[in-house]
Amino acid sequence: MPGMEVLTGALIYSNLLALLAVGLTLAYITTAVPNFAQGSFAVVGSYTALTVYRLFRIHPYVSLPLAFLMGGIVGLLSYLLVLKPLVRRGATVVTLMIATLALDLILLGLRGIYAGYLGKLTGSPCEMYMFTYLDFQIFGLPAILVVSTLVIVVTFAVLFTLLYKTKFGIALRASMENPALAEIMGVNVEYTRMFAWFLSGALAAMAGCLLPFKQEIVPATAEIIIVSIFAASIVGGLNNIYGALVGGYIVGMSESLVTYWLSTVFGAGMLVYGKVVALAIIIVTLLVAPQGIAGVEWRLIAKKLQKRGAKEV
């Protein structure tokens, strides 16, 4: 049986992964491009939190709203400056994906320059850091578990209200389902895309703000985490926001728990193979159910099973 520590660690990781995957899915639904820069959006949040802490000694939990805002701005600018001009020219999916790779590289360069600058300003290097020493306990639970769970609950509550209880939400869903039709009905699809990219960057940055409580931020953090984000989005179904939530937990939990289990059987050397679990999940999903969990017609399967059951009787 895995200990309490392993379970909470897995849960925290899953919370953050779900946030990141929801952002990726939002951008994919509205713009039809898998965003390879999603990991870099997260790093924007990590550095926002680090800057505020180093300069003003403000706790990273307090700077969550600021991270949200900064990530949102980066996401919005990415859409307006990088993707929108290409979408307008009718660029293919591959072109758009290459553009997000370019965006990721630009963000990596900016991150490097900023880290160097911040390091000089504060007098201590900012290439690698963690916030674990800043964490405390709430009712015997690590605060990061409580905070990350709260963030995800609030995010989904707000997202649900927005999508299903407001007029803007109806317009948003309409333009996700069928952009051309929505446009005919007078919905400005452009706004929904801008909103989706803002939210995508903002959610990723919130996850990034909390990530240093769980693992060390290194120059390659964005690259390390991107495979897991894609795994979470794909297993849930790239076309479904709730799928991303479910996918985040499936990938986060199995990445942590399967590697833990493997390491107890085969020794600690197995811990480095965590990402292989995420990769395996991507491959199996694409082979078995390319549309992800949300795309599987569960009712149809249930019916088939029932029929088979009836025959046997």
Partner 1 sequence: MLYGLILNILLWFGMYLIVSLSLNIEYGYGGIPNFGKALSVLVGSVVAGGLMTRILMAVYGTKMGIGGLSTATSVVSNEMTSSIQHNPMLGLVLLVATLMLAIAIGAVVGAVFILPSARLREDYLAITLLAIAETVTMICYYDPAIIGSYYGVSVPDFLAFLQGNVKKLAFVGIVLLIALLTYLFFERLMNTPYGRILRAMKENEDVVRVYGRDIMKVRIMTMAVGSAVAAITGVLLSFYTLRVQANSFMITGRTLWTFYPFLIILLGGAGNNKGVTLGTFIFVTVMEIIDFYKTNIVSILHLPVEAVWLEYILFGVMMLLILYYRPEGLIPEKPILTKPIKKAYETRKPEIARIKE
Residues 170-229 within binding reach of partner 1 (CB under 8 A): 219-220, 223-224, 226-227
User: Interface with partner 1 by CB under 8 A: which range of 1-9, 66-74, 167-175, 279-287?
Assistant: 279-287
Task: Using CB under 8 A, pick the residue from 33, 152, 205, 235 that binds partner 1.
Answer: 33
- What length does the chain have? 313
Interaction between residue 113 and partner 1 (CB under 8 A): yes
CA 267, 268, 272 angle in degrees (round to 5)?
125
Using rule CB under 8 A, residue 279 touches partner 1: yes
Contact 206, 68 (CB under 8 A): yes
SS3 131: coil
Counting contacts by CB under 8 A, is residue 105 touching partner 1? yes
Shortest distance in whole angstroms from residue 220 CB to partner 1:
5
Cα angle: 92, vertex 97, 102; to 5 degrees: 125
Window contacting partner 1 (CB under 8 A); options: 94-102, 149-157, 159-167, 202-210: 94-102
Interface mask toward partner 1 for 219-248; x: CB under 8 A: xx--xx-xx--xx--x--------------
Does the footprint of partner 1 cover residue 102 (CB under 8 A)?
Answer: yes
Does residue number 150 form part of the binding site for partner 1 (CB under 8 A)?
no
Site membership for partner 1, residue 290 (CB under 8 A):
yes
* 112 belongs to the binding site for partner 1 (CB under 8 A): yes
Both tokens of 219, joined, read: 């120059």
- Contact between 293 and partner 1 by CB under 8 A: the answer reads no
Question: CB-wise, 152 or 225, nearer to partner 1?
Answer: 225
Question: Taking a C-beta distance cutoff of 8 angstroms, is the pair 277, 225 a contact?
Answer: no
Closest CA to 144 of 260, 242, 14: 14
Quick one: how far is CA 176 from the chain centroid?
A: 19
Q: Of 92, 109, 55, which is closest to residue 222 (Cα–Cα)?
A: 109
**Binding test (CB under 8 A) with partner 1, winner from 287, 288, 300, 313:** 287
With contact defined as beta carbons under 8 Å apart, do 148 and 162 qualify?
Answer: no
Please spell the DSSP secondary structure of 151-166, one letter per residue: HHHHHHHHHHHHHHHS
Alpha-carbon distance 63 to 31, whole Å? 29
Dihedral sign, CA of 229, 238, 79, 96?
A: positive
When binding is defined by CB under 8 A, the residue of 22, 172, 209, 282 that contacts partner 1 is 282
Binding site for partner 1 (CB under 8 A): 32-34, 36, 82, 85-86, 89, 91, 93-95, 97-99, 101-106, 108-113, 116-117, 120, 219-220, 223-224, 226-227, 230-231, 234, 269, 272-273, 275-276, 278-279, 282-283, 286-287, 290
